[in-house]
A and B are shown apart, each in its own frame.
Chain A
Amino acid sequence: MSRSLIGTRIRERRRTRKVTQTALAAQVGISASYLNLIEHNRRGIAGKTLLSLAKALDLNPRDLTEGADLGLVNRVREASARNRTIPTELERLEEFIGRFPGFARLIERLFDQQQAQDQNLQALSDKVSNDPFFAEAIHLMLSNITTIRSTADILKNTTNIPEQIASKFLSNLLEESERLSQTASDILDHFEPSNPKLEHINEENTPETYLEKNKFFLEELENAEITPEQLAASIGLNNEDEQDLAIKAFEKYQTMAEALPISQFLKEAAKLRYNPLKLAEQFQTDLPTTLERLAHMPDEDHLPKFGILECDGSGSVLYRKQLPTLSLPKYSSACPLWPLYRSMSQPMQPICALFDMPTGERFLSYSIATFAEHGSFNMPGRLKATMLFTQDYQKILGKNTIASLPHLSVGLQCSVCPRNKCEARRSTYILG
């Protein structure tokens, strides 16, 4: 159950009842400044304080805790921003999502599909512009046409052409026509929508959606009840390429689960306050694998919730686990100020930083960029950056540590980020 909008709901309810922050805070026995942080979703809230606030506002605690999450709010907001010809009542967005979560999810899904189709179109456009096959095929077709045109012209306009030569030219004409047909057919096949290389757009069955459905914790792989190949075969993928990708994804999960067995890891993680560097040292494994492990723990209330984002040296997203309060772009790059991208300028240097979103949420992040093993001589290093993030940082860090960490002001993407004076801005804020 998400609690990301609890603060917003408390603030709205308090204002409706015309109660000041000071009065409400005094009534439930907390400071006004702490209530302010709760109302801006900067502090988590549960247990006794939640019950007291619900009682003071004459609400059932479930009214505060159930409903939409901030990730969904952000996605629907982004959908609205990308379709500006239809005016939407953004000021009532949270109310809409709270009342009609199913329709909100539908908008989110349609928006995701729209983005996937945009990606598909972009891929096709790239194919036409840069595809070596297409360039070669067009060259071949023009050569075929040149032969046909020139030969047909000779046959039609030349008098007294020796029979043997005429016969040879007719044969050339036939052969070249067949080659032209074949080239045209090859081009059609290349751009056929059912081309398996384009089917990645169908996202109903992917390793990522399977992990998402299982809350990013795969018991069957944790307990070695099934092999990555068997699991990949069981989730209904479209073709062999997708199967291969799924096997690789599940093998990666299996490697992580073997290096850091979950029951032992959870005990040590609690002792070491989920510090990834200390955990990596304890289990004698690398930091990226430890970051992955922290993002793939059982979905239990007492455990901090971690999201993860992995990208390659170009910034393209390789893997993501979102949090309800932080939706991550999949097809476009995110805010360049994220520690994830910063880590790429300092490979092998772990970075720990807090970052603030324009909407008020604060996240703790651990990032590192590493190089993949060298496959051959004289090839440039393949960089991969990983960023683990959580909003539950107060559960795992002391106040002094929090105060000593760098605080970064970041956004989601320029188009939906209101930080107008940001020097890293690369496109305008389309909601403004």
Chain B
Amino acid sequence: MAKSVLIIEDEPFIIEALTFLLEREGLELSSYSDGEGCLDVISNIKPDLLILDMMLPNVSGMEILEKIRNSREFSALPVLMLTAKGQVRDREAAEDAGVNIFMTKPFANEEIISNVHKLLKN
């Protein structure tokens, strides 16, 4: 059974590119473009991996990450966080909140594919 990946990102073209790339790797892709209500989406889809943008409308990626880590059901969900804010303090804050991999935009396609496989393997 194909592993599933949920992308929470508000840039539609990034979602399209990632979806194309990761489907070619044999993964099942879903996406959602708002911070609000995404826990319900996660609960419905039950993904094996979450690709999460840090800056989202309404609720930030950091707040979502904290909620995930504090939840009983998804606390172990692997999270790959994407952000245009590449400052050291942002990375540290994300690591403190329990991110698995932190990637800054722009990134290379091979890099994100490699990181997705790494997280799914674990």
A contacts, CB < 8 Å to B: 138-139, 142-143, 145-147, 149-151, 153-154, 157-158, 165, 168-169, 172, 175-176
Contacts and interface: CB of A to CB of B under 8 A. Distances in A.
B105 A151 contact: no
Given A138-B84, A143-B11, A143-B105, A150 B17 contact: yes
Contact of A150 (B24, B85, B109): B109
A154 to B, nearest CB: 6
Contacts of B18: 150
B105 A172 contact: no
B16 A172 contact: yes
B105 A146 contact: yes
Given A139-B84, A142-B84, A153 B11 contact: no
Contacts of A150: 14, 17-18, 21, 106-107, 109
A interface secondary structure, majority? helix
B105 A145 contact: yes
Contacts of B21: 150, 154
Contact of B109 (A138, A153, A165): A153
Interface residues of B, number: 17
A145 B106 contact: yes
B104 to A, nearest CB: 8
A149 B20 contact: no
B17 A154 contact: yes
Contacts of A175: 13
Contacts of A153: 108-109
Contacts of B84: 138-139, 142-143, 146
Nearest to A168: B16
B108 A147 contact: no
Nearest to A138: B84
Given A139-B55, A142-B84, A154 B13 contact: no
B20 to A, nearest CB: 6
A175 B17 CA distance: 14
Contacts of B106: 142, 145-146, 149-150
Given A138-B84, A139-B85, A154-B109, A147 B20 contact: no
